[in-house]
Chains A and B, each alone.
Chain A
Amino acid sequence: MEIDDSIRSVLAEFAKLAVDVSTLSDDDDIFDAGMTSHASVNVVLGLEEAFDIEFPQRMLRRSTFESVSAIRGAVMELVGSPAP
Chain B
Amino acid sequence: MASGPEVAAELARKAQRIGVEVAGPAADDVDRLARFPSEAVDALRAEGFMDALVPTELGGKGASVDAVAGAVSALGRHCASTAMIYAMHLMQLACLVRHGRSAAHRDYLHELSAGQLLLASATTEIGVGGDIRTSLCAVERSDGHFRLEKQAPVISYGEQADAVLVTARRNPDSAPNDQVLVLCRREDLKLEPVSGWDTLGFRGTCSLGFRLTAEGEESAVLDDPFAQISSRTMLPISHVLWSSVWLGIAAAAIEKAGRFVRGEARKQPGTAPPSALRLAELMLEHQQLKDLVAAGVREYEARYDNPEALMAMNFAVRMNSLKVSASRLVVDIVTGALTICGMAGYRHDSPLSLGRLLRDAHGAALMVNNDRILANNAQMLLVPWDDV
A residues lining the B interface (CB < 8 Å): 16-19, 31-32, 34, 36-38, 41, 44-45, 55, 57-63
C-beta contact mask, B201-245 vs A, less than 8 Å → 1, else 0? Answer: 000000000000000000000000101000100000000000000
**Is B311 an interface residue, CB under 8 A from the partner?**
yes
Measured CB to CB, the closest approach of chain B to A47, in angstroms, equals 11
Q: Which of B329-388 contact A (CB under 8 A)?
A: 376, 379-380, 382-386, 388
Max chain A Cβ within 10 angstroms of own Cβ: one of B177, B308, B376, B382? B177
- Please tell me if the beta carbons of A41 and B231 are within 8 angstroms of each other in the complex: no
Q: How far is the CA of A54 from the CA of B247 in the complex (A)?
A: 42
By beta carbon, the residue of chain A nearest B170 is A18
- Please tell me if the beta carbons of B227 and A31 are within 8 angstroms of each other in the complex: yes
- Please tell me if the beta carbons of B383 and A32 are within 8 angstroms of each other in the complex: no
- Please tell me if the beta carbons of B383 and A45 are within 8 angstroms of each other in the complex: yes
- Please tell me if the beta carbons of B177 and A37 are within 8 angstroms of each other in the complex: no
Give me 8 A-to-B residue pairs in the complex whose CB atoms sit less than 8 angstroms apart, sorted by A's number.
A34-B177, A34-B178, A37-B313, A37-B380, A41-B382, A55-B383, A59-B386, A62-B313
Supposing A37-B380, A41-B380, A62-B313 touch, asked if A57 and B178 sit within 8 A by C-beta, the answer is no
By beta carbon, the residue of chain A nearest B375 is A38
Measured CB to CB, the closest approach of chain A to B320, in angstroms, equals 11
| Count of inter-chain pairs, beta carbons less than 8 A | 53
Q: Besides A18-B174, A57-B384, A63-B308, 6 other CB < 8 A contacts?
A: A34-B177, A34-B178, A41-B383, A55-B383, A59-B386, A61-B388
Q: How far is the CA of A23 from the CA of B168 in the complex (A)?
A: 23
Q: How far is the CA of A76 from the CA of B308 in the complex (A)?
A: 24
**Is B126 an interface residue, CB under 8 A from the partner?**
no
Q: How far is the CA of A62 from the CA of B316 in the complex (A)?
A: 12
Supposing A18-B177, A32-B225, A34-B227 touch, asked if A60 and B384 sit within 8 A by C-beta, the answer is yes
By beta carbon, the residue of chain B nearest A62 is B311
Q: How far is the CA of A17 from the CA of B379 in the complex (A)?
A: 18
By beta carbon, the residue of chain A nearest B382 is A41
7 A-B pairs closest in CB distance: A18-B175, A18-B178, A60-B385, A60-B386, A61-B386, A57-B384, A57-B386
